[in-house]
Structure 1
């Protein structure tokens, strides 16, 4: 074997040069790469919220020979949970399901964790997994352009501290800015003539003191308004709560678990004993966590028209709301909608219905005509003076990108989505290669676990990156027919759901009867199955050197070239032993 050792000690034997004619004929057939060589990839992520953080962790964990950079316009990480600081801001699903699967937090102080506590949790995750080395804050992406000749994305970025602009480029772009990010003022005449304090739920001024005898108007009864009213009620003198439409307030999720571990329905905090118990007994914690998750994942039938669960849900909602409005039963008629539950986003709204029964709160159903310097004038002719106006009126939910994104042939994504924001299973669109969207159009959930969905989307993106490396691909984009098929599937699916009811909802871009552009067409568990195994046949590919067979390389593996050959494939833990036949 000495002769063999001598050969291998000097590295692989170089391939003999071919005649010029033969080399020309074999061009793009035998690539100068090992079959398992991981070519360099640079991934650019826009947004350092949950999607950006998970991308930073999972890409570094799973994709070799990687450069990754995450840009965010804010001065800190966290996205939604950094930006939203209004009183009462909290997650409206149980905290123990709203966390990374690989980093469970046994110390949540409340069943519905507050925004500051959620932000603190993600700061911990970022620090623990070393993400800040890859995140650039106060850096606003102002444009993204695909360079077809070089198969690269070119980003323009503005440094918000210096005002200077610069460029970056990468092989893959991940849009992680979310769908509820671009807040807007409501279109109310005279709104900005108001001389008192004007606040928006998404840009709350934490320095404003609303506790000193203030009369406050809260406009909107979506999820933010439902949290703000009980959040400010203890400190203000009076609240005028303007409701454009009626809304359902759901029963508390996993109520049995709250009553066992919390302090009753009006207090959702965990005791110190419970927290210490979770920390000391992992098995008990897992039992609790999985019990809450099971309940959260078991209500899909309530979104389907005519399903027994949907019919039963409406009855349960009415009984729940009547019970919580017992001090003012006359409010039931002002609140119960004609559309079915879940047509709009559901929230259990701890304390909200109870707040509406408080003498300090007046519900105003009359339309707002205009705002003047001192207050609000409604269609019934009344003028209600206030010290502050809170606009809990939401975001631009049309899916229009906040900055120009240009794909093949310079086409703008806003133009591609002008009629309807079409995607392939919510994560990509045709004509925009190597561009992936976390929580894009038709990605949100009407029920189920959103955090799991985000994780599965990021897993999907890492698989796409691995395929790009493995198959020597320079660009991949969903086929146009696959995008159209998903659009058709969504439209057909939603015909049988409560989401198409006659309600104004951000699910439909803020309209009453528009196309459902926000929600996933199925359950949370259904989405997880879809993202588990990519259908590579639904994509078009372009290859390095235009060589579709370049993936097979030059006949070598990396380990052979580097004299690191091993035969671990013969180890017992590497062999898949078949089951024995029955005797």
Structure 2
């Protein structure tokens, strides 16, 4: 190669020194929270907790809760079927900060639970932020502005018009059991009698003295059957699957001992003690939650508690179904307890042993205008069919949620709903979930886990406000690592054994997508201590130093502020004196 001729330039440009962007001070105090808007979808328990904690803990907050129903309560508003009730003792199913010693029963009816959560919402001001009868149709992330844009339908107006709203942060509190579905049975909608779904019950329907069919063997059916059995003429219970019926640990149906051998029995008379003597209630509640949180061993394959439950539950079912040994044989599962959701089912075994109940394990072939026909050709006419057949638990049938690059959450999760510790996923910045995939607990307290998830998201929003952060997003590697952990954890549990369960998206042997991979206390600890290194961040104006503000604090600039606050009681950390 020769030299470049005079008067010409080389085609290769001279290397340029990068020009540093001029640093600009963010004109706010280092401890000042920037204004931020948060939208919560859903006003069930998670949404109510968010409606309490977010306004309590966050400054400069614009906050709204959109709820498709006219009232708060979520599942406890929507589920109104006969016998709907808590399937753990109600004294545990409540907020940690709002104890209620006045439950009418140990397994309180659904309406009473709904009233409790409405009371909590009223007492702590949640209704100030609630927009009821508002159904979210779409949520899309605007990357250029770092905003979530929502399309929302007004269900309480004649035109049901659609409007838009936007926020910096979107918090989904929809829950897992939200999209109910009809069973896929040929001719179901040709039935001329009353057709009902447990999750879409028609208030005021009178079933007394009628011939009814109940389809399903999940927790809803196990509550419906003993309630309806008392007053119907005949009840055909179509239960193709098998399930364990646990023994209630409290109340009129409680047994003398738990499967672990401990005596933890309370009678209905104790209900009055709790109402009249709060100290008695607080002692009971601590003991109850201790017991519930001690049961995690039942979920581990081959554990002594697991073996003990098989023996005790089997004998209990055999004894209560002594009048119908063929039903006992049909109902007894080949899989271990807790593989499917374990329910105490107060009164269920006693009900199906009655003469007016036909327990039918044969598969339904089709439905006629008059009733149901099983595969053996037997036709049974009924006045009503109640489908207690559950929900869509694939996490993909909701409204479109669209993240970075137009990515649909349903498309991302079509094979499996991967998350980071159940509350977020990559490609969806500033998007959080409560009761999302891998968030439920197989044993122990659920409500404390819901509280900790809300606490976690509050801390994330505070981080956005204080540290000049435009978006926070779970790293793809963090999502992968959590899924690897799940894949390593669940094979040692009964949840991954062969049984059809909504824990596995309604499959027989799929991946466990609904449950937390650990005990409820494990979830409580994980969600109490965020690992911010598992997230990635985009900064406002691309300024990573912006969190330092302008060199001042709010105490510096407010004339009335205390500028020696660090000497106040509570700030000074006095170490122990060593003798």
CA contact (8 A) 1:176 1:437 kept: yes
Please report how far the alpha carbon of residue 257 of structure 1 lies from its aligned counterpart in structure 2 after TM superposition.
12
CA deviation digits over 1:148-196, x for unaligned, max 9? 1111111110001221110111111111110000000000000000000
Please report how far the alpha carbon of residue 275 of structure 1 lies from its aligned counterpart in structure 2 after TM superposition.
4.8
1:535 is aligned to 2:536: no
Please report how far the alpha carbon of residue 254 of structure 1 lies from its aligned counterpart in structure 2 after TM superposition.
5.0
CA contact (8 A) 2:252 2:267 kept: no
Partners of 1:253 and 1:68 in 2: CA distance: 41
Partners of 2:363 and 2:133 in 1: CA distance: 39
Partners of 2:519 and 2:95 in 1: CA distance: 20
Partners of 2:95 and 2:330 in 1: CA distance: 39
SS in 2 for 1:82: helix
CA contact (8 A) 1:71 1:137 kept: yes
Please report how far the alpha carbon of residue 363 of structure 1 lies from its aligned counterpart in structure 2 after TM superposition.
0.7
CA contact (8 A) 1:37 1:470 kept: yes
Partners of 1:365 and 1:257 in 2: CA distance: 26
SS in 2 for 1:68: strand
Equivalent position of 2:174 in the other structure:
177
1:74 is aligned to 2:76: no
Please report how far the alpha carbon of residue 332 of structure 1 lies from its aligned counterpart in structure 2 after TM superposition.
1.8
Give 1:138's match in structure 2, choosing from 130, 133, 137.
133
Please report how far the alpha carbon of residue 320 of structure 1 lies from its aligned counterpart in structure 2 after TM superposition.
2.2
Partners of 1:239 and 1:204 in 2: CA distance: 18
1:189 is aligned to 2:206: no
CA contact (8 A) 1:325 1:331 kept: yes
Unaligned segments of structure 1, at least 5 residues: 1-23
Please report how far the alpha carbon of residue 469 of structure 1 lies from its aligned counterpart in structure 2 after TM superposition.
1.1
Equivalent position of 2:4 in the other structure:
none
User: How many corresponding residue pairs?
Assistant: 551
Partners of 2:236 and 2:23 in 1: CA distance: 71
Please report how far the alpha carbon of residue 97 of structure 1 lies from its aligned counterpart in structure 2 after TM superposition.
0.6
TM-score by length of 1: 0.92
CA deviation digits over 1:173-228, x for unaligned, max 9? 111110000000000000000000000000011221111x2100000010000000
Equivalent position of 2:83 in the other structure:
88
Change (3 A) 1:28 1:166: farther
Partners of 2:45 and 2:354 in 1: CA distance: 37
Partners of 1:398 and 1:536 in 2: CA distance: 29
1:331 is aligned to 2:337: no
CA contact (8 A) 1:81 1:119 kept: yes
Partners of 2:272 and 2:328 in 1: CA distance: 41
Partners of 1:502 and 1:25 in 2: CA distance: 60
1:240 is aligned to 2:267: no
What are the within-5 Å matches in structure 2 for residues 190-229 of structure 1? 190-211=187-208, 213-229=209-225
CA contact (8 A) 2:251 2:267 kept: no
Please report how far the alpha carbon of residue 465 of structure 1 lies from its aligned counterpart in structure 2 after TM superposition.
0.8
CA contact (8 A) 1:401 1:413 kept: no
CA contact (8 A) 2:213 2:385 kept: yes
What are the within-5 Å matches in structure 2 for residues 160-559 of structure 1? 160-162=155-157, 163-211=160-208, 213-254=209-250, 270-271=268-269, 274-275=270-271, 277-559=273-555
TM-score by length of 2: 0.92
Please report how far the alpha carbon of residue 256 of structure 1 lies from its aligned counterpart in structure 2 after TM superposition.
11
Q: CA RMSD in A?
A: 1.9
Question: Higher helix fraction: Structure 1 or Structure 2?
Answer: 1
Please report how far the alpha carbon of residue 515 of structure 1 lies from its aligned counterpart in structure 2 after TM superposition.
1.1
CA contact (8 A) 1:250 1:348 kept: yes
CA deviation digits over 1:324-370, x for unaligned, max 9? 32343443211110001000001000000000100000111111000
Change (3 A) 1:195 1:255: closer
